[in-house]
Amino acid sequence: MKFHKEGYTSLAIVVLFIFAINAIADYYDASLYAKWFLYVLSAFLFITIVQFFRSPIKRIAADEGIILCPADGKVVVIEETEETEYFNDRRIQISIFMSPINVHVNRNPISGIVSYFKYHPGKFLVAWHPKSSTENERTTVVVKNSADVEVLFRQIAGAMARRIVWYVNEKDVVKQGEEFGFIKFGSRVDVFVPVGTSINVNIGDKVVGGKTVLATF
Protein backbone atom coordinates (compact mmCIF):
# COMPACT_ATOMS: atom_id res chain seq x y z
CA MET A 1 0.00 0.00 0.00
CA LYS A 2 1.31 3.46 -0.87
CA PHE A 3 0.06 7.04 -0.76
CA HIS A 4 -1.13 8.28 -4.15
CA LYS A 5 0.63 11.26 -5.72
CA GLU A 6 -2.69 13.09 -6.20
CA GLY A 7 -3.05 13.34 -2.42
CA TYR A 8 0.11 15.27 -1.53
CA THR A 9 -1.52 18.70 -1.81
CA SER A 10 -4.58 17.66 0.17
CA LEU A 11 -2.40 16.05 2.84
CA ALA A 12 -0.27 19.20 3.13
CA ILE A 13 -3.38 21.37 3.54
CA VAL A 14 -4.79 19.08 6.22
CA VAL A 15 -1.48 18.96 8.13
CA LEU A 16 -1.22 22.77 8.05
CA PHE A 17 -4.84 23.07 9.23
CA ILE A 18 -4.22 20.60 12.07
CA PHE A 19 -1.09 22.48 13.11
CA ALA A 20 -2.89 25.84 13.00
CA ILE A 21 -5.96 24.88 15.05
CA ASN A 22 -3.87 23.11 17.69
CA ALA A 23 -1.45 26.05 17.90
CA ILE A 24 -4.37 28.45 18.36
CA ALA A 25 -5.83 26.22 21.09
CA ASP A 26 -2.50 26.20 22.91
CA TYR A 27 -2.01 29.97 22.51
CA TYR A 28 -5.42 30.77 24.01
CA ASP A 29 -5.03 28.06 26.66
CA ALA A 30 -8.18 26.22 25.65
CA SER A 31 -9.84 23.87 28.12
CA LEU A 32 -8.78 20.24 28.34
CA TYR A 33 -12.08 19.14 26.76
CA ALA A 34 -11.60 21.53 23.85
CA LYS A 35 -8.05 20.32 23.30
CA TRP A 36 -9.12 16.67 23.31
CA PHE A 37 -11.87 17.51 20.81
CA LEU A 38 -9.26 19.08 18.53
CA TYR A 39 -6.94 16.10 18.95
CA VAL A 40 -9.71 13.70 17.93
CA LEU A 41 -10.73 15.96 15.03
CA SER A 42 -7.10 16.19 13.89
CA ALA A 43 -6.67 12.43 13.97
CA PHE A 44 -9.93 11.93 12.08
CA LEU A 45 -8.94 14.38 9.32
CA PHE A 46 -5.48 12.90 8.94
CA ILE A 47 -6.71 9.30 8.81
CA THR A 48 -9.48 10.24 6.36
CA ILE A 49 -7.04 11.80 3.91
CA VAL A 50 -4.55 8.94 4.17
CA GLN A 51 -7.36 6.40 3.73
CA PHE A 52 -8.86 8.24 0.77
CA PHE A 53 -5.60 8.55 -1.17
CA ARG A 54 -4.33 5.03 -0.48
CA SER A 55 -3.10 3.25 -3.57
CA PRO A 56 -2.72 -0.54 -3.36
CA ILE A 57 0.24 -2.04 -5.18
CA LYS A 58 -1.10 -4.58 -7.67
CA ARG A 59 0.63 -7.05 -9.95
CA ILE A 60 -1.69 -7.70 -12.87
CA ALA A 61 -1.14 -10.27 -15.60
CA ALA A 62 -2.68 -8.89 -18.79
CA ASP A 63 -5.29 -11.11 -20.49
CA GLU A 64 -6.76 -10.06 -23.84
CA GLY A 65 -9.80 -12.24 -23.31
CA ILE A 66 -11.14 -10.28 -20.33
CA ILE A 67 -12.27 -6.77 -19.40
CA LEU A 68 -10.99 -5.79 -15.98
CA CYS A 69 -12.93 -3.54 -13.63
CA PRO A 70 -11.50 0.01 -13.85
CA ALA A 71 -12.42 1.09 -10.30
CA ASP A 72 -13.26 -0.07 -6.79
CA GLY A 73 -16.92 0.31 -5.89
CA LYS A 74 -20.36 -1.13 -6.47
CA VAL A 75 -22.02 -2.11 -9.75
CA VAL A 76 -25.11 0.10 -10.12
CA VAL A 77 -26.00 -0.24 -13.82
CA ILE A 78 -25.89 -3.10 -16.32
CA GLU A 79 -27.99 -2.36 -19.38
CA GLU A 80 -28.00 -2.24 -23.14
CA THR A 81 -28.09 1.37 -24.25
CA GLU A 82 -27.29 3.73 -27.12
CA GLU A 83 -23.76 5.16 -26.84
CA THR A 84 -23.97 8.50 -28.64
CA GLU A 85 -20.57 10.14 -28.21
CA TYR A 86 -18.28 7.78 -30.12
CA PHE A 87 -19.88 4.51 -31.28
CA ASN A 88 -23.36 5.79 -32.12
CA ASP A 89 -24.75 2.29 -31.72
CA ARG A 90 -25.97 -0.13 -29.07
CA ARG A 91 -23.55 -1.12 -26.31
CA ILE A 92 -23.74 -2.77 -22.91
CA GLN A 93 -23.12 -0.20 -20.19
CA ILE A 94 -21.65 -1.25 -16.85
CA SER A 95 -21.46 1.51 -14.21
CA ILE A 96 -19.44 1.39 -11.00
CA PHE A 97 -20.27 3.83 -8.20
CA MET A 98 -17.27 4.89 -6.12
CA SER A 99 -18.05 5.96 -2.56
CA PRO A 100 -15.68 8.20 -0.54
CA ILE A 101 -14.29 5.13 1.25
CA ASN A 102 -13.25 3.32 -1.94
CA VAL A 103 -9.81 3.40 -3.54
CA HIS A 104 -10.07 6.11 -6.20
CA VAL A 105 -7.41 4.95 -8.63
CA ASN A 106 -8.83 4.25 -12.11
CA ARG A 107 -7.25 1.44 -14.17
CA ASN A 108 -7.32 0.48 -17.85
CA PRO A 109 -9.82 -2.34 -18.40
CA ILE A 110 -7.97 -3.61 -21.49
CA SER A 111 -4.58 -3.21 -23.18
CA GLY A 112 -4.26 -1.46 -26.52
CA ILE A 113 -4.05 1.93 -28.20
CA VAL A 114 -6.11 4.95 -27.14
CA SER A 115 -8.18 5.60 -30.27
CA TYR A 116 -10.23 8.43 -28.73
CA PHE A 117 -9.99 10.75 -25.75
CA LYS A 118 -12.06 13.78 -24.78
CA TYR A 119 -12.55 15.85 -21.64
CA HIS A 120 -16.01 17.39 -21.13
CA PRO A 121 -16.52 20.22 -18.63
CA GLY A 122 -19.95 20.09 -17.06
CA LYS A 123 -22.19 19.98 -14.03
CA PHE A 124 -21.77 18.18 -10.71
CA LEU A 125 -25.03 16.28 -10.36
CA VAL A 126 -25.06 13.36 -7.91
CA ALA A 127 -23.41 10.34 -9.53
CA TRP A 128 -26.63 8.29 -9.64
CA HIS A 129 -28.60 11.02 -11.41
CA PRO A 130 -29.84 9.74 -14.83
CA LYS A 131 -28.28 12.73 -16.62
CA SER A 132 -24.91 12.62 -14.84
CA SER A 133 -23.32 10.53 -17.61
CA THR A 134 -24.15 13.16 -20.26
CA GLU A 135 -24.20 16.47 -18.34
CA ASN A 136 -21.55 16.14 -15.61
CA GLU A 137 -17.87 16.89 -15.91
CA ARG A 138 -16.33 13.75 -17.41
CA THR A 139 -13.68 12.17 -19.58
CA THR A 140 -14.23 9.61 -22.31
CA VAL A 141 -11.50 7.13 -23.27
CA VAL A 142 -11.68 4.50 -25.99
CA VAL A 143 -9.03 1.77 -26.21
CA LYS A 144 -8.67 -0.60 -29.18
CA ASN A 145 -7.06 -3.95 -28.45
CA SER A 146 -4.97 -6.13 -30.78
CA ALA A 147 -8.13 -7.76 -32.16
CA ASP A 148 -9.50 -4.30 -33.14
CA VAL A 149 -12.20 -4.49 -30.46
CA GLU A 150 -12.87 -1.14 -28.78
CA VAL A 151 -13.97 -0.56 -25.20
CA LEU A 152 -15.12 2.86 -24.01
CA PHE A 153 -14.77 3.93 -20.40
CA ARG A 154 -15.80 7.20 -18.83
CA GLN A 155 -14.86 8.99 -15.62
CA ILE A 156 -17.84 10.96 -14.29
CA ALA A 157 -17.67 13.61 -11.59
CA GLY A 158 -20.38 13.77 -8.93
CA ALA A 159 -21.70 16.20 -6.35
CA MET A 160 -18.58 15.75 -4.20
CA ALA A 161 -16.08 14.88 -6.93
CA ARG A 162 -14.72 18.20 -8.11
CA ARG A 163 -11.59 17.04 -9.84
CA ILE A 164 -11.04 14.38 -12.46
CA VAL A 165 -7.43 13.51 -13.28
CA TRP A 166 -6.34 11.54 -16.34
CA TYR A 167 -2.96 10.28 -17.56
CA VAL A 168 -3.77 9.21 -21.14
CA ASN A 169 -4.16 10.87 -24.51
CA GLU A 170 -5.01 9.72 -28.02
CA LYS A 171 -2.51 7.30 -29.62
CA ASP A 172 -1.01 6.31 -26.26
CA VAL A 173 -0.27 2.62 -25.82
CA VAL A 174 -1.80 1.48 -22.54
CA LYS A 175 -1.55 -1.71 -20.52
CA GLN A 176 -4.43 -3.50 -18.83
CA GLY A 177 -4.55 -2.73 -15.09
CA GLU A 178 -2.29 0.30 -15.22
CA GLU A 179 -3.57 3.64 -13.93
CA PHE A 180 -5.29 5.88 -16.43
CA GLY A 181 -6.68 8.40 -13.94
CA PHE A 182 -8.02 9.34 -10.53
CA ILE A 183 -11.30 10.87 -9.28
CA LYS A 184 -11.28 12.81 -6.03
CA PHE A 185 -14.04 12.21 -3.46
CA GLY A 186 -16.29 9.63 -5.05
CA SER A 187 -18.29 9.40 -8.27
CA ARG A 188 -18.72 6.90 -11.09
CA VAL A 189 -16.96 5.07 -13.89
CA ASP A 190 -18.96 3.77 -16.88
CA VAL A 191 -17.71 1.05 -19.20
CA PHE A 192 -19.28 0.37 -22.62
CA VAL A 193 -18.61 -3.04 -24.16
CA PRO A 194 -19.87 -4.63 -27.40
CA VAL A 195 -23.32 -6.22 -27.37
CA GLY A 196 -22.85 -9.96 -27.00
CA THR A 197 -19.98 -9.64 -24.53
CA SER A 198 -20.36 -12.07 -21.63
CA ILE A 199 -20.95 -10.04 -18.43
CA ASN A 200 -19.41 -11.55 -15.28
CA VAL A 201 -20.95 -9.26 -12.64
CA ASN A 202 -24.41 -8.40 -11.35
CA ILE A 203 -26.02 -5.20 -10.08
CA GLY A 204 -25.10 -4.71 -6.44
CA ASP A 205 -21.78 -6.57 -6.65
CA LYS A 206 -18.80 -5.06 -4.85
CA VAL A 207 -15.93 -4.88 -7.33
CA VAL A 208 -12.19 -4.19 -7.14
CA GLY A 209 -10.29 -2.19 -9.74
CA GLY A 210 -7.66 -4.18 -11.59
CA LYS A 211 -8.88 -7.46 -10.04
CA THR A 212 -12.58 -8.11 -10.72
CA VAL A 213 -13.33 -9.38 -14.23
CA LEU A 214 -16.27 -7.36 -15.54
CA ALA A 215 -16.72 -9.27 -18.76
CA THR A 216 -15.14 -11.68 -21.22
CA PHE A 217 -14.96 -11.38 -24.99
* N-to-C CA span, the chain: 31
Chain centre to alpha carbon of residue 80: 22
Positions marked catalytic: 187
| Rg value, the chain, Cα | 20
Neighbour-count burial for 87-119, b at 16+ CB within 10 Å, e otherwise: eeeebbbbbbbbeeebbbbbbbbbbbebeebee
Query: CB–CB of 213/69 below 8 Å?
Result: yes
Ramachandran quadrant class, 17 (left: phi over 0; alpha: psi -120 to 50; beta: rest): alpha
Give the Cα separation of 56 and 64 in Å (integer).
23
